[in-house]
Structure 1
Amino acid sequence: MKYISFLLALGITITLAIYVSKPIGPVPPIATLIDPNHGFWQNMISEDDLAETEVLLEGLNSPVQIVYDKNLIPHIFAQNEEDLYKAQGYVTAKHRLWQMEFQTRAAAGRLSEIVGDVALELDRMTRRKGLGYGAELGMDFLKESDPETLRYLEAYASGVNQYINSIGPGQLPVEYKILNYRPEEWTPYKSLLLLKYMSDMLVGDRDLEYSNLRKILGEQMLNKLYPDYPKDADPVIESDKVWEFEPLEIQKPDSLEYPDDLLSMKPLEQPLPGTGSNNWAVAPSKTKNGHPILANDPHLSLNLPSLWYAIQLTTPDYSVKGASLPGALGVISGFNENIAWGVTNATKDARDWYKITFQDEQRKAYKYGDQWRPTNFRIEEIKVKDQDAFLDTVVYTHYGPVVYDKSFRSERQDVNFALKWTVHMGSNEQKTFLLLNKATNHEDYNVALDNFTAPAQNFVFASKNGDIAMRIQGKFALKWPEQGKFFMDGADPRMEWQKFIPNEQNPSTLNPNRGFVASANQHPVASSYPYYVFDNSYEHYRNRRINGKLREMEDITVEDMKKLQFDDFYFQASEALPTMLNLLGGDYSKEGNTEKYIKQLKEWDYYADPNQKAPTLYYVWWGKLYNQIWQAWDDFGVSVVKPNSYQTIQLLKNEPNDSIFDLEKTQEIENAKSHVLKSFEMMVKEISDWEQNEGDYAWANFKQTSIQHLVPQFKSFSETNVYTGGGAGIVNATSERHGASWRMVVELGDKPTAFGIYPGGQSGNPGSKYYKNFIPVWAEGNYLDFNLRSQKDTTNLLYQTTLK
């Protein structure tokens, strides 16, 4: 049956390749693709049917044993770390080669090489942001200061390349065959590039939009609609934390001038809505067994192959298990015999923009104070499949690359803006995870985090000796209030980042009195923290739900933590819907299905479970209402960011007759009730139409969660209509295309007890039974037993391979 399914999926994909050749590039040679010895037939066999008992691997110091469990999770046993990472590279490439290379091509701005000019705009943007430049600086940093990490990266690359060199055309992943290209050599640079790519996925900025809003709204209205610190904020670090350090001094200069015209450039892509994460740890005093428990579930795009690859890495000195990133060394979120750790995005503004004034059109010098500084030119040659290469000239200033200029995303000849970003500063994030993998206590954890620059992350920690901790880590510029919130004048030296906050003064906490630490992308600290903290996208609901539950829970078990990770309570709806129903009153048409919808909304318990209908009604109504209220923002003619859902709900609750609700383009005077009534009518029509055309509007049917192949056009390699609840802003943050990309719960007793799951499978081959076998388990909120495995353990054994 699996062969029939795979053949059907492949046939559909090839048909798409032929009939939709523009999005995915030229059609592959069909004769090669259907060749029984080299074509797709070879990709119909699962890994256990191709098991090898021995493999020769050059450069090993000692034999390495790899034990695969029944889910194809490798447990690598090596005698030293260099052999360990060489084996990790080999094994990861064996199962995820195409994914590894595709993602680093995307990070390098090289997709046009394999799919044609459809990716040219994306490649230009990637290169202009300087991801490759940042990875080059990372390589220089390693060569100068950390030869050991570089040696491990070279060992990993050797393992990858030995796998690449061992396979013929028949063993190539099917995506290479469809897109008609071959893998190239792996290098340490590519591993660093992958980590820069993750930073780009997780960082955002709204300097452009805020600059426009400042001009349109004025500072008073801007501060009202976009407050830096809302009243209900429940920060990552407990609000009563006492900061026991002497802060560095910083003062805002007087009479600063900002670019004063509206800016019509197209903004950079921001992290997509739904991108976020949860993590927490509870102290022994709050758990039933008297052991700390740690949980982590990063929320990212739901893709196949999965972003994560589960693995255990063991030497005589330590054994670590968890989720790795294919292409990077070690485990990113996981545990060993002594500690566990996990990460969430800290959503802290780490990119700033500077207006550059060039001396003339040649752009060889730019104004800085009363001087003209020389620029550097970087010629980006972007190869395009079946076309001539595209040459893009990017100007570099001391701030960073000039992303916006007359040739890119600017409608005006005189607008030039440079990007300043910590990714361009030379760093060694890889070392953080290498050290965490073998850390034994809180001190080791802190030493490991000192190496981490970008992206800003909330690192949760627990150890078997009972410690729990949270640290918000990154390289954070010391800024005066509002610095970096708007575009700045690059000619004014006072706009510079002056210093960086010392690592030991980054927000952190150890064993707080409340008995837990937690983060969910919310405000990092209370206003008592002595440094300016800003980001436009802090979360307002998941964090309050998690903190509220952890405050009230006692005798906590691992099962309690699993249940909390899968919690479907729609906190936003619980705060907004009563106000919406109150404003609506009885002033609506009673025709059709209206009364049924009202009854379902009034009886709703606010859980977004997959079989419930009320979440669909609320979701559609809220979306219509939000767009009704802020529709005038679409008419500004420039890029802006609309007020967030939290602030909108506060206005509905507390100021329903505020003039902000009135639409100037209409003759009527609108208030909150006007928008609630109008949006309700729109919701009724949409859901009635859905019932008529699609049938059941239960939440899972309406939400239609899908786990998409990395090439969206390869729809038959994706999983659609996954039956599961949750949603954006909910602890179980499973929306249409985003969700918990990895769930892990670990109790740290004498021996750790661990559980983990992600929505995919260990194999990157769509023809394998291990390609998406985890999805049903994940969708139902279940887990795999994820305990550390000994080398002699034969339970649930799939097969073993010895590298010699």
Structure 2
Amino acid sequence: MALAAAALLPGCAALAPRPVAVEQRLAALPATGLAGLERPVTIRWNDHLIPWIEAETDRDLAFALGLVHGHLRGAQIALLRLVARGRLSEVAGPFATEVDHALRILDFGRAAPEIERRWPAETRAFVESFVAGLNHATLRAGRPPPEFALLGLRPEPYSTADILAIGRLAGTDVNWLLYFSLLGERGRPDFARLWRRTLEAGASATEPAREAEGGGSAALRALLGGLNRAGSNAVAVAARRSATGGALLASDPHLSLNLPNLWLAVGMRSPSFHAVGLMVPGLPILGLGRNPDLAWGGTNMRAAASDLFDVSRLPPAQITERRVTLRRRLWFSTERTVRLTLHGPIVTDAALVPARPGEAIALRWVGHEPTDEITALLRAARARDGAAFRAAFAGFGVSPQNMVWAARDGRIGRLMAATLPARTGFPDADPVLDAADPAATAPWARLLDARDLPYAEDPPEGVLASANERPEPLGGRAPPPLGLFFSDGDRLERLRALLAARERLSVADLMALQRDTLSPKAARLAAALRRRLEGLAEAAPVAAALDGWDGDYRADSRAALAFELLLGRLVPALLAENGRDGAAGRRGPETQWNFLTTFLLRDLDALPPERRAAVLRQAAAEAARELGRFRDWGDVHRQRVAHWLVNLPLIGGAFVQGDAPVGGSRETPMKTSHGLVQGRHVATFGSMARHVSDLSDPDANWVVLYGGQDGWLGSAAFADQVPLWREGRMIRLPLRPETVAAEFPRVTRLLPAAR
């Protein structure tokens, strides 16, 4: 304990950070003697520390972007690299040993050498210059971020391979969370039933990790679930349906709600690039944004970019093995084994991935193939029309995305950006395939990409919406089998209803759509439960609260509170009635929204009448007691302002800056995800960035982050956008030079090193 306390002493600046003004943060940016720069670069800043970069060459733009990323998000990028490289033990000590072993097996950097070998010259030059700028900010700045001392980190240079590993981490297959959860259920007598129900529900494991899991399992699930682009909404409106006369686009990604935000807002101009939008810290690409001719956003397809293979019967000669060393802070280093097959790494060698005795299961993932997302997104940012935008995604791999676009010519469209095995179907009995079965391995002999998948342009309705839903035909073509586990469709239903509500849609309409908290299926499920509570005296308080509820999870809704408290008691009881684990707080596939909307009423009505009444009576009585303790939904459903260091044991509470009531739920357009509710809780995953563009005006682009631009603890721009977020306000990101000059008044000049 004394050793741990001594290790924390250098990190006091992180535990009690001093206030730092925007001017101080700008003054700390290394701006002169930049050896990687060819010509001077101008960076204009607004009051929120959003940079607008003007460069005379593309390479200088890339260098400046890397410099800005490193300056604003240095600690965050360092953490992302530690995760991507399986090096968390270097800061967390032996507690992270098994997490690191699992991450080393997943090997996010595995495809990097071949990707780099195949890069077009322009991509290589851009990425190398970005890394040079990132390294200058990392190695040549003054003092490192406060987190470095707390975590025992030292600045170290980045490589292009590191950038690719971070990109692969961001492209994690969301299906892994459910796969790994189900592996622990295989072999149980009721697994066949669970698997059938999982397929019918289409459940997707993006909720928080189960509290019943050990710390390492929960940590791994939290990392994989919080850092990949698992959710999102995106809508496009054609010019003929727009109140402004120009096509409109709105997108809002769903990711971890811890700070710093997992996006960084920027503007940029160079000979090849003229755009504004959001970037993932540490990656040299715009994930969503706008250029003068096109705006774009995306949602996770939830497509299966992976397969599990039983490789237990493979001959030893077909398995390669290597030892990896895990360095552990304040403890001895240790070694672990990583085994690789033609069907991928053996993930069940990780202690955190469950398996039956004697079984070895490998994971084959598109992310281990040499797909090229950076080139695709660099080309997309320069696209001038829908055809060029679609062509840019040839070779894009992970994570599979539904890309939605709106163009200056008034048109809109949607495409599937993915690389996937050419499957003809999915297993109906077990998620694990037999590596010895040629039919199971054959789909990986041919990989499909965006050129092979359906797309849509200019639909008759004049609008498009995407929300991680089960794929539908596009452009008159049905897609091939893409996956098993998708969003429930609740958000899509609500988005389409809002888009159909007006003949002409405005920018204000799209901004309101992003903040909408109504769930149609919640309203229907609540009404059905209300009918079943009729005549049960114990249920009177809950039934009264549910009367007439429209499914709106407003923060001040008492009906939403009553509904969720009832589900929190009823679902575990029904699981127990069916011989499943009904322990309070259990979070797994069977407690997710897809399962509830598919099976809850069916399971309830399947009980004998006397037993059904008893279960309802008990659940409603317990929910009524809880209802008396709280005022409304926002009283229990909270959105926290907290640095990611909140996850540290013992001292994590020091990094919470407060919380506040928040509306929304699992599948509302403004998503604030949660599990079963049995009291006050924090939403840790959901809507965390918003973007809206109006193609009728180059300056009509707005963004806002849950948090702020600057990751420096104590910075005035660390959480300054939270009030904007809560109030529904946004920050304009213009494209016209004169508007940029007026609204981004602070100026930094980057100067090359003297030759």
Shorter-normalised TM-score: what interval?
Answer: 0.7 to 0.9
1:461–1:468 Cα contact (<8 Å) kept: yes
Q: Deviations over 1:19-70 (max 9, x none)?
A: 9x8xxx664363x5679xxx99995332313544952211322110001112
Output aligned runs, 1:97-246, within 5 Å: 97-133=74-110, 137-168=111-142, 171-200=143-172, 202-204=174-176, 206-207=178-179, 216=189, 223=196, 226-227=199-200
Gaps of 5+ in 2: 204-215, 674-682
Cα distance in 1, alignment partners of residues 418 and 520 from structure 2: 30
Output aligned runs, 1:624-639, within 5 Å: 624-631=569-576, 632=578, 634-635=580-581
Change (3 A) 1:275 1:776: farther
Letter in 1 for 2:293: N
Structure 1 residue 771 corresponds to structure 2 residue 703: no
Change (3 A) 1:600 1:224: closer
Cα distance in 2, alignment partners of residues 166 and 405 from structure 1: 41
Change (3 A) 1:580 1:74: same
Q: Deviations over 1:760-795 (max 9, x none)?
A: 111111211111000011012221122225178442
1:26–1:115 Cα contact (<8 Å) kept: no
3-state SS of paired residue (2:176): coil
More displaced, 532-541 or 616-625? 532-541
Partner of 1:80: 57
Cα distance in 1, alignment partners of residues 632 and 530 from structure 2: 21
3-state SS of paired residue (2:538): coil
3-state SS of paired residue (1:175): helix
Change (3 A) 1:163 1:409: closer
Change (3 A) 1:150 1:379: farther
Partner of 2:66: 89
Change (3 A) 1:27 1:780: farther
Cα distance in 1, alignment partners of residues 456 and 247 from structure 2: 16
More displaced, 287-296 or 211-220? 211-220
3-state SS of paired residue (2:347): strand
Output aligned runs, 1:601-640, within 5 Å: 601-631=546-576, 632=578, 634-635=580-581
Cα distance in 1, alignment partners of residues 133 and 686 from structure 2: 32
Q: Report how far residue 116 of structure 1 moved.
A: 0.6
More displaced, 569-578 or 480-489? 480-489
Match of 1:48 among 11, 23, 46: 23
Letter in 2 for 1:298: P
Q: Deviations over 1:531-558 (max 9, x none)?
A: 2233224332111111222233211000
Match of 2:463 among 499, 516, 520: 516
Cα distance in 2, alignment partners of residues 729 and 40 from structure 1: 35
Change (3 A) 1:376 1:758: same
Cα distance in 1, alignment partners of residues 298 and 375 from structure 2: 15
Partner of 2:206: none
Cα distance in 2, alignment partners of residues 286 and 330 from structure 1: 31
Partner of 2:605: 657
1:323–1:331 Cα contact (<8 Å) kept: yes
Q: Report how far residue 406 of structure 1 moved.
A: 8.7
Partner of 2:631: 697
Q: Deviations over 1:505-554 (max 9, x none)?
A: 31321111121111111101259726223322433211111122223321
Indicate the percent of aligned positions where both proteins have the same amino acid: 23
Q: Report how far residue 333 of structure 1 moved.
A: 1.0
Cα distance in 2, alignment partners of residues 557 and 215 from structure 1: 53
Q: Deviations over 1:265-292 (max 9, x none)?
A: 9898386599521001011121112211
Q: Report how far residue 321 of structure 1 moved.
A: 0.6
Structure 1 residue 269 corresponds to structure 2 residue 235: no
Root mean square deviation, CA, Å? 3.2
1:85–1:155 Cα contact (<8 Å) kept: yes
Partner of 2:656: 718
Partner of 1:569: 518
Change (3 A) 1:222 1:153: closer
Q: Report how far residue 740 of structure 1 moved.
A: 1.3
Match of 2:669 among 728, 731, 739: 731
Q: Report how far residue 646 of structure 1 moved.
A: 4.3
More displaced, 789-798 or 150-159? 789-798
1:542–1:730 Cα contact (<8 Å) kept: yes
Q: Deviations over 1:469-527 (max 9, x none)?
A: 11122111122322496211112223204322353331321111121111111101259
Q: Deviations over 1:186-240 (max 9, x none)?
A: 111121111111122744364566675797458788646742789xxxxxxxxxx
Partner of 1:378: 322
Cα distance in 2, alignment partners of residues 621 and 219 from structure 1: 29
Q: Report how far residue 729 of structure 1 moved.
A: 0.9
Cα distance in 1, alignment partners of residues 337 and 172 from structure 2: 21
Structure 1 residue 677 corresponds to structure 2 residue 622: no
Q: Deviations over 1:688-744 (max 9, x none)?
A: 3xx2xxxx5222221111133222234333343233311221111124112212101
Change (3 A) 1:146 1:669: farther
TM-score normalized by the length of structure 2 = 0.87
More displaced, 719-728 or 118-127? 719-728
Cα distance in 1, alignment partners of residues 194 and 146 from structure 2: 55
Structure 1 residue 63 corresponds to structure 2 residue 3: no
Output aligned runs, 1:281-300, within 5 Å: 281-300=236-255
Letter in 1 for 2:641: I
1:723–1:779 Cα contact (<8 Å) kept: no
Cα distance in 2, alignment partners of residues 281 and 788 from structure 1: 20
Structure 1 residue 760 corresponds to structure 2 residue 707: yes
Cα distance in 2, alignment partners of residues 221 and 308 from structure 1: 37
Cα distance in 2, alignment partners of residues 41 and 635 from structure 1: 43
Partner of 2:211: none
Cα distance in 1, alignment partners of residues 666 and 355 from structure 2: 35
TM-score normalized by the length of structure 1 = 0.82
2:487–2:594 Cα contact (<8 Å) kept: no
Q: Deviations over 1:580-635 (max 9, x none)?
A: 01001021237xxx54x433321534322222222111111122222222234534
Match of 1:455 among 375, 394, 399: 399
Partner of 2:503: 554
Cα distance in 2, alignment partners of residues 612 and 228 from structure 1: 28
Partner of 2:680: none
Q: Report how far residue 380 of structure 1 moved.
A: 1.8
Q: Deviations over 1:632-686 (max 9, x none)?
A: 453499998427534544555567532xx47xxxxx9633x44333221121122
Q: Deviations over 1:291-327 (max 9, x none)?
A: 1110100111101111111111111444111111110
Change (3 A) 1:517 1:154: same
Match of 2:365 among 405, 421, 440: 421
Structure 1 residue 326 corresponds to structure 2 residue 295: no
Cα distance in 2, alignment partners of residues 408 and 764 from structure 1: 31
Partner of 2:640: 706
Change (3 A) 1:793 1:347: closer
Gaps of 5+ in 1: 1-17, 231-264, 359-365, 663-667
Match of 1:540 among 469, 489, 492: 489
Cα distance in 1, alignment partners of residues 337 and 591 from structure 2: 37
Structure 1 residue 356 corresponds to structure 2 residue 314: no
3-state SS of paired residue (1:420): strand
More displaced, 621-630 or 291-300? 621-630
Cα distance in 1, alignment partners of residues 351 and 568 from structure 2: 36
Output aligned runs, 1:11-26, within 5 Å: none
Cα distance in 2, alignment partners of residues 145 and 33 from structure 1: 41
Q: How many residues align?
A: 711
Q: Report how far residue 393 of structure 1 moved.
A: 1.1
Q: Report how far residue 179 of structure 1 moved.
A: 2.2
